[in-house]
Amino acid sequence: MSRLPTVSANMVWAVLGLIAAVVMVVQKLYIALAVFALLILAIAATRRTVRGRAFTDRLKLPVLALLSAFLVGGIVLILSDLEFYSKLSANPLGTLEASFGRVVVAYWELLKGAFGDIPKISTALASGDRNKIGIAFRPMSETLLATTPLILTGLGVAIAFRSGVFNIGAEGQLKIGAVFGAWVGIWIPLPFPFGLILAIAAGVLGGALWAFIPGILKAKTGAHEVITTIMLNAIAQQIMLALLLTPILRPEGSTTPISWPILEASQLPLLLALPKLRVHWGLILALVAAVGTSWLMFRTTRGFEFRAAGLNPRAAGYAGMRAGRTIVLAMTVSGALAGLAGAVEVLGTNRYLSPGISPGYGWDAISIALLGGTRPLGVVIAAFLFGALRAGGQGMALATGVPIDLLGFISALVIMFVAAPRLVRELYRVRISSAAPQTPKVVETPV
Amino acid sequence: MSTRLLALGASAAIVFAACGGGASAAPTTAPTSAASAAASGTPAPSAAAAFKACLVTDTGGLGDKGFNDNALKGLQDAKKAGYATEIKNLESKKDADYTSNIDALVADNCQSITTVGFNMGDATKAGAAANKDVAFSIVDNAYDPPIANVTGIVFATEQAGMLAGYLAAGVSATGKIGTYGGLPIPPVTAFMDGLWAGIKYYNQENGKNVTLLGYDPSKPKGGVLATAGNPWGDTDFGNQQANAFFQEGVDIVVPVAGGTGIGSFTAAKQAQAAGKKVYAIGVDTDQYITAPGFESVILTSIQKIIDKAVADTIHLAQQGTKGGTNYVGTLANGGVGIAPFHNLANLVPAALQTGLDALKGKISAGTVKVADYLK
């Protein structure tokens, strides 16, 4: 690629800030935009230090990828409107304006659906009516609720990626974790919080076991973990379905694949005692897991071995680290986190198990790990973003009729742009350091 | 340098414009209070009061050509018929969405909310308890005891089953019809009671002796049943059972066991390839459409006509009936019926069609009752 003269990054941020300020003055915008401008100022401030600059440099790719995905998503939204073409020939300018407006409204409703409506929140707070406050904060609560399992599965996949193994099996590990957690939560009556702790532990164990299988297969026989984890996803799904059709999980004589409800003492309590707010302690568990993962990966010998294996398995082997053991351990920890996600969904969000437990949290996890640069903090942010997309889609569908499936499309585009840093580099003519570990090293691990 | 700035500037401008336009557009497109919602609703001709009807589909999702798609069609029909002035629908992607979608629709001031299927049974019950002024209805589910603001939408499938039994008896060359069920529960045996009654009615009318294998209404639990572990998805069983029926001379098989029935359709198709004239009758939806690939096999289907039922229930809600009872789809109100014969219309002679129409009229009028033909 040709080397163009570079502009200092500060200038780019300054221009962005300026545009934001002008637009805000002209349009009398909501606080959301002010927050955005503050964010830009904060970023500009961080660029004064070397560490801060390294941080914002890492943000460049995901942010630009996001921007591009929403742009393409908007174009698709316009082009997928069947009436667009006939109207276009009749009234080109008016139609383009209307279509553009449609995209704008859809994205605005998406934001409101994910984070709430500021005027609504302020009126609710002023009224002091608990019911109204609950309704006003519901979008944020739903976003955090969707974020919870995504943080956990995302962390699991990120650990595996960092250690040089591709765990594509988070979906299956989540389901086995959910089955284990549900079984303990249904059948073992212990006082709170022991019942809950045992059920969570069971979920973790289930996920860990399910990931141990591909780990040991890879270490002992060289079976490729991408193949084995995908196959184990299908098996996990069938195990869950089969158990849901037996009295092991559902009431005798039931004709529907829905388990007994989880015992009250084994449920994750809600975080806030307000109506409509479903966000529960699973979120705290997920954040603790993120801190724990960070500590494991960057502060312990084991984490160093994981990362060494991911960076260069040959060198790690030469340095005396046992590759086989690292693979098995990394997979097991990865699966334990996915299993925890399953347990948290069953014990906190749904309080029963049925086949609709996951809309693909294990698949989103791969995207989240990549978008988050396989770092725990990055994963938390990326999971929050995906959670916001999932929750905000409801508001968008409700207000504009744009199907929620558009968001699946946009999140896939985000990943394509993240996975193709060179494309983003060329499109926006910005420098993106290729040393940043944005994507896992695709290396065949010698065993 | 200039290109880079241009690209960044342009994309930033679009995003900011997007937010900006949204903010200024928001007050008109999304009123924040009920008062302004009513205000923006008034410009419409105020002949009928505004009524907002909403729908939550289950995780099977739209595009299933079955319950969810038909429920949405019912919602759209309700708007066309003027029962509702505004309609909204939300898709569920996971279990946790059921409660969330109901909450979102309540917050959006929906006056009637329809949910689809037993999966949403608990979420609908909880939503109804928390929002007593909203009229809920749930497709293919009912509560015992009934809930004051929920209408269970259920179907008198035995009435459509009786038509199918009459049709099968008239079409069958061997005089033997075969049926089996997923479980010996009323939602399943209702279909088979109908078949029995229809065949019996045909025999009395025409002095024939067509028989039904696999079910006897005097022993509803003693019929042929799919495997207990997987009653609704065991295609192997469906295949074997259909072949067993064909061995005994059956030429029309009626599987009442969900996905298991696909195995029987396959068996019939294979038998057709071997030169046998055998057919099948579908259940729940028009399986000619919902089970593509078996067009040569499916004579008709015993249908729950969800769209009609949903539109009717919305009409009831609009007129002030919030629930507390079941809506029963019958031949008379068009909530159940038999599907068109499609490719196999040539198997149904005009005389048989006349007989069918006459029977349909009698069941609708109540002069012929399924229960009277079960002895």
Above pLDDT 90, what percent of chain A? 51
* Shortest CA distance from A9: residue in chain B: B5
Token representation of residue A21 = 């300020």
The rounded Cα A66 to chain-centroid distance in angstroms is 14
CB atoms within 10 A of CB B4: 17
**A404–B29 CB contact, under 8 Å:** no
Q: B362 falls in which pLDDT band (50, 70, 90)?
A: very high
Q: Which two tokens stand for residue A407?
A: 């968001």
Contact B90 A23 (CB under 8 A): no
In this structure, the answer to whether residues B323 and B346 fall within a common structural domain is no
A274 to chain B, any CB pair closer than 8 A? The answer is no
- Measure the CA–CA gap between B177 and B246, rounded to whole angstroms: 10
For the ranges A84-93, B42-51, B142-151, the lowest mean pLDDT is seen at B42-51
Supply B312's token pair: 């009717």
Q: Residue A422: is its pLDDT beyond 80?
A: no
Q: Which of A113, A157, A215 is nearest to A341 (CA)?
A: A157
B125, B102 in Cβ contact below 8 A? Answer: no
**Does residue B41 sit within a domain?**
no
Q: Domain holding B316: CATH number?
A: 3.40.50.2300
- Give the residue from A132, A111, A110 showing the smallest Cα distance to A121: A132
Residue linked to tokens 């010698």: A446
Q: CB-hemisphere CA count at 13 Å for B334?
A: 8
| Residues of chain B neighbouring A397 (CB-CB closer than 8 A) | 90-91
Beta strands across the sheet bearing B298-304: B211-213, B176-181, B252-256, B279-284, B298-304, B336-338
> In the predicted model, is pLDDT for residue A119 greater than 90?
no
pLDDT confidence of A31, banded at 50, 70, 90? Answer: low
Pick from B65, B129, B72, B63: which is nearest to B99 by CA? B129
Is there a single domain that holds both residue B250 and residue B299? yes
Q: Are B101 and B95 in contact (CB under 8 A)?
A: no
Are B130 and B227 in a shared domain?
no
Q: What is the pTM of this model?
A: 0.81
CB contact (8 A) between residue B99 and residue A278: yes
- Give domain limits for chain A: 1-48, 126-428
The B residues from 180 to 239 touching A (CB cutoff 8 Å) are: 183, 185, 229-230
> For domain A126-428, which CATH number applies: 1.10.3470, 1.10.287, 3.40.50, 1.10.10?
1.10.3470
- Taking the Cβ of residue A147 and every Cβ of chain B, the question of whether any pair is shorter than 8 Å is answered with no
* Over residues B80-106, mean pLDDT: 93
Mean pLDDT of B146-162: 95
pLDDT, one tens digit per residue, over B280-297 is 999 999 999 988 999 999
Is the same domain home to B357 and B229?
yes
Q: Is the pLDDT of residue A229 over 70?
A: yes
Q: What residues have CB less than 8 Å from B92, skipping those under 6 apart?
A: A356, B56, B57, B58, B59, B61, B98, B101, B120
Q: How many domains does chain B have?
A: 2
Confidence at residue A52, expressed as pLDDT on a 0 to 100 scale = 76
Supply B83's token pair.
């029962």
Domain range for B74 is 48-141+305-335
Q: Residue B101 domain-assigned?
A: yes
CA distances from B242 to A94, A208, B166, B235, B253 (A): 61, 44, 20, 11, 7
- Tell me how crowded residue A196 is: count the other CB atoms within 10 A of its CB: 26
Mean pLDDT of chain B: 86
- In DSSP notation, B127-142 reads HHHH-TTSEEEEET--
Which band of pLDDT confidence, cut at 50, 70 and 90, is reported for residue A284? very high
Inter-chain touch B19–A145, beta carbons under 8 Å: no
Does a structural domain hold residue B53?
Answer: yes
B93: nearest CA partner in chain A? A359
Whether pLDDT at A433 is above 70: no
Residues 192-231 of A with CB under 8 A from B: none
Judge whether B10 is closer than 8 Å to chain A, CB to CB.
no
Closest residue by Cα to residue A354 from A233, A256, A210: A256
CA distance linking residue B136 with residue B113, whole number of Å: 5
Q: Residue B119 carries which DSSP code?
A: G
Is the predicted pLDDT of residue A423 greater than 60, yes or no?
Answer: yes
**Position B276 in a domain:** yes
Do B291 and B310 fall into the same domain?
no
Would you say residue B70 has pLDDT above 50?
A: yes
B131 and B174 in a single domain? The answer is: no
Please tell me which residue of chain A has the smallest CA distance to B3: A429
Shared domain check, B132 and B179: no
Only one residue has tokens 């903090």, namely: A377
CB neighbours of B144 closer than 8 A, spacing ≥ 6? none
Contact yes or no for B2/A12 (Cβ under 8 A): no
The pLDDT-based confidence of A3 (bands split at 50, 70, 90) is: very low
Please state, in angstroms and rounded to a whole number, the distance separating the CA atoms of residues A289 and A155: 8
Residue B152, in any domain of the structure:
no
Q: What does the pLDDT read at residue A376?
A: 94
Q: List strands edge to edge, sheet with B112-116.
A: B86-90, B52-56, B112-116, B135-139, B150-155, B326-329
CA trace torsion B281, B286, B290, B293 (10° rounding): 50
Q: Which of A4, A104, A258 sits opposite B22 (nearest CB)?
A: A104
Confidence class for position A5, pLDDT limits 50, 70, 90: very low
Examine the domain organization and report whether B125 and B246 are in the same domain. no
**At A9, is the secondary structure helix, strand, or coil?**
helix
pLDDT at B372 over 50: yes
Q: Which of B226, B274, B208, B227 is nearest to B247 (CA)?
A: B274
Count Cα atoms within 13 angstroms, Cβ side, for B279: 28
CA–CA separation, A189 and A179 (whole Å): 17
At residue A37 the predicted structure's pLDDT band, cuts being 50, 70 and 90, is confident
Question: Cα separation of A13 and A33, whole Å?
Answer: 16
User: Is residue B231 situated within a structural domain?
Assistant: yes
- Yes or no, beta carbons of B229 and A246 under 8 Å apart: yes
Say if residue B75 is in the same domain as residue B119: yes
A230 burial type by CB count under 10 A (0-12 exposed, 13-18 middle, 19+ buried):
middle
Domain identity same for B95 and B124 = yes
Please list every residue in chain A whose beta carbon sits closer than 8 Å to the beta carbon of residue B16. Answer: 19-20, 23, 33
Residues B222 and B349 in one domain: yes
